[in-house]
Structure 1
Amino acid sequence: MSRSRLPAACLALLLTGAAVPALAHSFQSTPIIADAAQAPLALPRAQPAIPVPQDTPYPGVIQYRADVTDVDRRIVNVTQTIPVAQAGPLTLLYPKYLPGNHAATGPIQLISGLTVTANGQRIEWLRDTLDPYAFHLDIPAGVTSIDVAFQWLTQPDNSNWRVTMTPALVNLQWEKAILYPAGYYSRQIQVAPSIVLPSGWQYGTALATAARDGDVARFETTDLYTLIDSPVFAGAHYRRVDIDPTGDRVHLNILADEAKGLAATDEQIKLFENMVQQADRLFGARHFDRYEFLFALTNQLGGIGLEHHRSSENTGAPDFFTNWSKSEGDRGLLPHEYTHSWNGKFMRPADELTANHNVPTQNTLLWVYEGQTEYWGDVLAARAGLHSREVALATLAAIAAFYDNQPGREWRALQDVNNHNLLGYRVPGQFTSWMRGTGDYYRESALIWLDADTLIREGTNNRKSLDDFARAFFGHDDGQWAPQGYTFEQVVATLNAVYPHDWTSFLRGRLDAVGPDAHAPLAGITRGGYRLTYTDTPSAAEKAVQTGWANDFQYSLGFTLSGDRLTNIRWGGPAFEQRIGAGWQLVAVNGVAGSAEALRNAVTAAKGTDAKIELLIKSGDRFRTVAFDYHDGLRYPRLERIEGTPDRLGAILTPRSR
């Protein structure tokens, strides 16, 4: 009998793992295997259940050691000694839901060579067939601890996972190189971590160092939650700078590919001191003993901007400090991550405050977690002087134009985009303007918070603002670290305490808006005293923010030119209507060799005329000629002041004096 002819009831029994004797009885007259060529059906393999996490202490302290010296082969070698209280079943977990990723992104595919021993004898493990992040063991009698060893095979390029090891830098993220016992809250598992470094390297981390013996650093025992929230940046070229104007509690740890990259000037450092000061004045409290910015200036380590409670992982261009004007549009990253210490770490959406790193997260409030953080990051960058007023306005103009021209709102509400990471972590795709994606719960949500800020300012005659919400919602319990969960209802209640309004309708109307009549939330810009316009000649500040402006034809022809390829085709735009998809190459423009400059010249020449813009494009062996009947010239976004109205945006961007 072939498998396709099995009766449905019998097949169901097989799939659910019913007892084999009952199955054998039901097939007495017809064997499962009809002939020698037929492969047997596989029965599910019995395995223990994964213990549900309990809020009780795990017995003993896990000894952990990560050797990161093999930078040439990019291998992290890990050894752990895990105490066990009794013989019998034990399940070890590899972290699945990583902090700040809002999704199941633990790269378990990169873990190899896993071996477990006790008293010199090997203990075999069995991977869970439903949850491959779990490993089941049977601990023999008389064993009080097990030794675990494996390798984290980090990657040589950023095609699948970001680069975390280079000849001069290592980014050790503990959650990607650790196993821990199931059945316990992360904060109830104690770990004594250590790291073996390449000769002479220094490091930055929020962990407290217990001792350094040559190239081995041992850290004070801490809980697993805090360990995973405290990564290490280590390197051959390192500098640590105090940027706390009120005490030695906030530091900028700078690492670089080369020593010259460390050369931040006193004037540049002062701007980061201003950032810390403006954050103190905004929130009115701190929820850390110290804070360590981990800032790697590199073109070799994978790019990152990841928040932690007492630190952040960030990368920048190798010449971030030495070519200061070039970084003008990129200085909002550190203020954003610093804000997360308050929003996302101390105060956190209740559905992201999980028991351990293998309990699924929910993302219903990412528009607060990331969206309001995006708002305050840009505001703090301006208040600190890291962004000039012109750069701050250009940043806002770029965001406003993107969402004013985004058609995806016709079918997908912003609230649903909060689920984007759960559908596939930041997965790129064609026609992102139609799909919508991760950036929306950052940047479109920031527009909502600008809307709220200007509404409060208008309604209270500038006596109150969103600053008052920030202090009330994030600034309570000064000195307390333990995370607190928040809900939609708490957000609304705090807004009402600042300024009574129908905040539920205000927020839900913007979060749930969908359909052809749904529009980008730009009211905050207008109420702030500005309007979105377009120019054919971007300013220096606009060029600094819109770094690819010379190749950007989004608001004219509806695409971006990446090299010679047409990318980011805007759904419903002129290129889309010409039936152009991603991947077509530009060969010629109006009979001359194709290039961004030739295309800019053609768009400019066609402005206000009847002339068409003719492109010769290629996909594989196929050529096409397309003609654009477009005559509005180049268009780059700009915010224009509305004369005679209050400049509330200017007030928002002005540094606070106390």
Structure 2
Amino acid sequence: MKKHLFVAVALIALTAPAAHAQEGNSRPQPVVQPLTIPLPADRPYPGTMLLKVDATDYARGIFHVRQTIPVPKAGKVTLLYPQWLPGKHAPRGAIAEVAGFKPTAGGKPLVWTRQPTDVYAFDIDVPQGVKSIDVAFDFLSPTRTAEGRVVVTPAMMNLQWEQVSFYPAGWFTRQIPVQLEVSLPEGWTGAAALDGLQVSKNRYSFGVTSYENLVDSPMFAGRYFRQWALGNGVTLNVVADEEKYLGASPDHIARHAALVSEAVALFGTRHFDRYDFLLALSDELGGIGLEHHRSSENSRNPDYFTKWDENDSERGLLPHELVHSWNGKYRRPDKLWTPDYRTPMQDNLLWVYEGQTSYWDLVLAGRSGMQSKEMILAEWATNAGFYSTQAGRAWRSVEDTTLDPIIAGRKARAFPSATRTEDYYNEGGLMWLEADMLIRTATNNAKSLDDFARGFFGGREGDWGQSTYDFDDVVAALNAVHPYDWAKFLRDRMQTPGRPAPTAGIEAAGYRLVWRDAPNVYDRDRMAQAKNTDLTHSLGLIIDKDGVAGSIAWDGPAFRADIVNGTKILAVDGVTYNRERIESAIRAATDGKTPVKLLVERGGRYRTVEIDYRGGLRWPHLEKVGTGPDWFDQVLATKRAL
């Protein structure tokens, strides 16, 4: 015992000096950062901001901005550039594109400093006697996708006012009045859901509105423009790369009008006094689908109208963004609503905001004739099939993916099936399908999720403010339609990882998920649009038009063969790669003897890969079971008065 004790003491003695060696080193303490930005207060702002945007430099995509901002007092005034953006659910303000920031008063330059702990905050020293300051800067919009989303092309532009304006700290944005004037290129036409429009040549002037409403009311403008009234105070405004793409038929417009009527019939009220679809038909403008209270920003392929029959899968975007006027803009999760664009958003209930919208966009597309039943069922099949094999479900709940806009900002990932992405959209939609089926079957179709939508999102006609809610409010509204343990239902499916594939709603509707060796119509159209080959459920990867692999499925056949994103497939069985050859090789491998043999290249290194996969080509489909009722016919049945 004494010998062991001596050894232990000796070891302690030897290690003690090292343990205390840092005491003689320099060891700083953190500098306490004082709160220097006024918190937003719900009080009227003293004066009206003037915002002038010169958008005529479309050749270089530069917006020249001039603002006049009343100031309540001398001393330090803090201007904020919008950071946390509604609809993007994340801090994605484009501060990096601001250049030439110059504040003045009476023509004299003012001293300004950017706050190092909040780079969106600019402190300006305002002299005594100054009642307003002028701010000039340029917004240098991306000219290629490597720099960000392209918002200006030779034929059109997308003006988002949060990119070309600052606002004073210390007020709710709804309390800050602003008047906008924008100069467009000669011969262009613009549309925005702002009131009081006056047009003088190429200058568009609007009446005074709140800064909140301004940011929520972007503009599309273009050389080739056309507008259609859809009824119910809704207008379809379209800009296109070329005049020929504006050739919508009366039937096309009638289906868009039916979409609006079906939405109003579903919710029972309108939370807008006007609504403007802003639709760009373009290969050049950056893609977008973004909701606003009285409008939405949308882009589709140029041939959206001219090849209507080939674009069935493209027609779910406008229904989605329209639904957001009720779900997301009027009714909004209480912690997602913020009084300004600096306060962080909490995204936890996006499975209601986006998830239920993803359900209604398909339902309304079916009810209005915007999409076929075959396409809608195929999209549900694709989503259910994807989640049936997604590895990340084992560790990450759907609700945790609502934080993905903040965590990842839609960045590319090495193995997205393992990390999960924004699954609250599509898995949320499948969960709400299950909820609808539960209500319908329990009440013999006397009640449905339609009743929840009308009761929860309906509200008061013409109210285009915001009405917030929390988890308990959702549960209470569901129980008002049909008593059930909805709290457990929602927590199990949205807040719990390791759940089985979300196919219960499909099965309750009288269908089942099956696998076939040909793609469903949704997958077929998606591959045609993207010019890729989706082999997710066979080799576990997607191959683009150039033969480059991506979206590698975690622990799938390609993964086990050490194929990663960016690997280029050069040859299949010794012959130059193409889609037909790789599909033929997958079919041949079902004999259990013939591996899928690929020549691949990555980083200048070549190797031959033999993938031991024998399951054949697989794509998900929904298949009707038995002769019972087809509940999907009930879900997609027209509701509006004919």
- Relative to the length of structure 2, the TM-score reads 0.94
Over 3 Å counting, the alpha-carbon distance change for 1:587 and 1:130 in structure 2 is: same
Match of 1:16 in 2: 31
Deviates more, 1:542-551 or 1:552-561: 542-551
1:111-163 CA-to-partner distances (Å, cap 9, x unmatched) read: 01000111221111111110010011121111111010000000101224201
For 2:191 and 2:503, locate their aligned partners in 1 and report how far apart those are by CA, in whole Å. Answer: 41
Q: CA deviation at 1:546?
A: 5.0
CA contact (8 A) 2:536 2:542 kept: yes
Pairing 1:430–2:431 present: no
Which residue number corresponds to residue 585 of structure 1?
A: 568
Q: 1:503-527, CA deviations, whole angstroms, 9 ceiling, x for partnerless residues?
A: 0110100112224xx2221100000
Residue aligning to 1:263: 247
Q: How does 1:424-503 map to 2 (within 5 A)?
A: 424-438=408-422, 440-503=423-486
> Aligned runs of 1:525-540 on 2, under 5 Å?
525-538=506-519, 540=521
The structural deviation recorded for 1:553 is 1.2
SS in structure 2 at match of 1:270: helix
Residue equivalent to 1:356: 340
How far apart are the structure 2 equivalents of 1:463 and 1:565?
A: 51
Given candidates 620, 629, 639, the residue that maps to 1:646 is 629
Counterpart in 2 of 1:571? 554
Give 2:357's aligned residue: 373
Between 1:530-539 and 1:634-643, the stretch displaced more is 530-539
The answer to whether the 8 A contact 1:211-1:219 is kept is yes
- Give me the CA root mean square deviation: 1.7
State the one-letter code of the partner of 1:11: P
Distance change (3 Å), C-alpha of 1:7 and 1:253: farther
SS of 1:412's partner is: coil
What's the counterpart of residue 54 of structure 2? 67
Which of 301, 322, 327 is the aligned partner of 2:311? 327
C-alpha distance in structure 2 between counterparts of 1:550 and 1:150, whole Å: 42
- The equivalent of 2:12 in structure 1 is none
Structure 1: any 5+ residue segments left out of the alignment?
18-43
Q: What is the CA-CA distance between 1:304 and the residue it aligns to? A: 0.2
| 1:606 equivalent among 589, 611, 635 | 589
**Contact between 2:520 and 2:620, CA under 8 Å: does it hold in 1?**
no
Equivalent pair of 1:394/1:545 in contact (CA under 8 Å): no
SS at match of 2:512: strand
Q: Is 1:561 aligned to 2:543, yes or no?
A: yes
Seq. identity, % = 45
Q: Deviations over 1:191-247 (max 9, x none)?
A: 011101111211111001342111111101000000000000011111110011xx5
Q: How does 1:491-530 map to 2 (within 5 A)?
A: 491-515=474-498, 518-530=499-511
User: 2:271 corresponds to which residue?
Assistant: 287
Task: Report what 2:259 is aligned to.
Answer: 275
Contact 2:520 2:621 in 1 (8 A): no
1:171 aligns with 2:155: no
What displacement does 1:9 show? 7.2
| Pair 1:596-2:579 in alignment | yes
**1:214 lines up with 2:195 in the alignment:** no
CA contact (8 A) 1:163 1:302 kept: yes
> Is the contact between residue 206 and residue 230 of structure 1 (CA under 8 Å) also seen in structure 2?
yes
Give the superposition deviation at 1:625.
2.2
Flag structure 2 segments of 5+ consecutive residues without an equivalent: 1-20
* Residues 283 and 7 (structure 1), Cα distance of their counterparts in 2 relative to 1, 3 Å cut: farther
Q: Which whole-Å deviations, capped at 9, do the CAs of 1:576-605 have from their partners, x for residues lacking one?
A: 122222222212212222222110111122
* Cα distance, 1:632 vs structure 2: 2.4
Q: Give the whole-Å Cα distance in 1 for the aligned partners of 2:304 and 2:58.
A: 25
Q: 1:93 to 1:539 in 2, by over 3 A?
A: closer
Structure 1 distance, partners of 2:264, 2:168, is 39
Aligned amino acid, residue 532 of structure 1: L
Seen in structure 2, the aligned counterparts of structure 1 residues 541 and 577 have a Cα distance that, compared at 3 Å, is closer
Matched, 1:615 2:608: no
Q: Deviations over 1:361-397 (max 9, x none)?
A: 1101010011001110111111111111111111111
Distance 1:250 1:410 in 2: 44
Q: 1:199 to 1:550 in 2, by over 3 A?
A: closer
1:122 aligns with 2:103: no
Could you list the per-position Cα deviations for residues 17-58 of structure 1 after superposition, in whole angstroms to 9, with x for gaps in the alignment? 7xxxxxxxxxxxxxxxxxxxxxxxxxx9xx871001110011
SS at match of 1:81: strand
Q: Is the contact between residue 48 and residue 136 of structure 1 (CA under 8 Å) also seen in structure 2?
A: no
In structure 1, what residue type is equivalent to 2:333? P
For the Cα contact (< 8 Å) 1:391–1:544, is it kept in 2?
Answer: no
> What is the CA-CA distance between 1:360 and the residue it aligns to?
0.7
Q: Determine if contact 2:58/2:153 at 8 Å carries over to the other structure.
A: yes
Structure-2 change in CA distance of 1:617 and 1:79 (3 Å) = same
Instruction: Name the aligned partner's letter for residue 425 of structure 1.
Output: G
**Displacement of 1:541:** 5.8
Q: In the alignment, is residue 637 of structure 1 matched against residue 620 of structure 2? A: yes
Q: Does 1:58 align with 2:45?
A: yes
Question: Alignment length, in residue pairs?
Answer: 619
Question: Quick one: which amino acid aligns to residue 31 of structure 2?
Answer: T
Distance 1:170 1:594 in 2: 39
Amino acid aligned to 1:531: R
Give the Cα separation in 2 of the matches to 1:392 and 1:468: 22
* Residue equivalent to 1:551: 533
Q: 2: distance between equivalents of 1:656 and 1:590?
A: 55
1:142 is matched with which residue?
129
Q: Specify the code of the residue in structure 1 equivalent to 2:250.
A: D
- Displacement after TM superposition at 1:10 (Å): 6.0
Secondary structure in structure 2 of the residue aligned to 1:441: coil
CA distance in 2: counterparts of 1:540 and 1:223, whole angstroms:
45
**Mapped contact 1:543–1:549 kept (Cα < 8 A):** no
Once the 2 structures are TM-superposed, how far is the Cα of residue 545 of structure 1 from its aligned partner? 4.8
Tell me the distance in 1 between the aligned counterparts of 2:449 and 2:280.
Answer: 33
**Separation in structure 2 between the aligned mates of residue 464 and residue 204 of structure 1, nearest angstrom:** 40
Q: CA 1:112/1:549 → structure 2, altered by over 3 Å: closer, same or farther?
A: closer
Separation of aligned partners in 2, 1:607 and 1:279: 48
Deviates more, 1:155-164 or 1:63-72: 155-164
| 2-structure distance, mates of 1:525, 1:62 | 53
2:72 to 85, 91, 95: 85
> Within the alignment, does 1:108 sit opposite 2:89 as a pair?
no
Structure 1 position 231 matched with structure 2 position 218: yes
Q: Distance in 2 between matches of 1:629 and 1:151?
A: 56
Question: Which residue of the partner structure matches residue 11 of structure 2?
Answer: none
- Residues 16 and 541 from structure 1, CA distance in 2 versus in 1: closer, same or farther, beyond 3 angstroms? closer
Looking at structure 2, the residues matched to 313 and 79 of structure 1 have their Cα atoms a distance apart, in angstroms, of 25
1:8 and 1:437 mapped to 2: Cα distance? 45
* 3-state secondary structure, aligned to 1:280: helix
3-state DSSP of counterpart to 1:261: helix
Partner Cα distance (1:119, 1:551) in 2? 62
Q: Which amino acid aligns with 1:371?
A: G
1:623 and 1:212 map into 2 onto residues whose CA distance is 62
Q: State the Cα deviation string for residues 430-470 of structure 1 (Å, max 9, x = none).
A: 110111002x0100110100010001011111111000000
Any idea what SS the aligned residue of 2:181 has?
strand
Deviation at 1:103, TM superposition (A): 0.5
TM-score normalised over the length of structure 1: 0.91
Structure 1 residues 315-346: Cα deviation after superposition (integer angstroms, max 9, x where no partner): 11111111112211110000000000000000
Distance 1:111 1:541, change over 3 A: closer
Counterpart of 2:326 in structure 1 is: 342
| Post-superposition offset of 1:624 | 2.3
Q: Is the 8 A contact 2:81 2:167 kept in 1?
A: yes
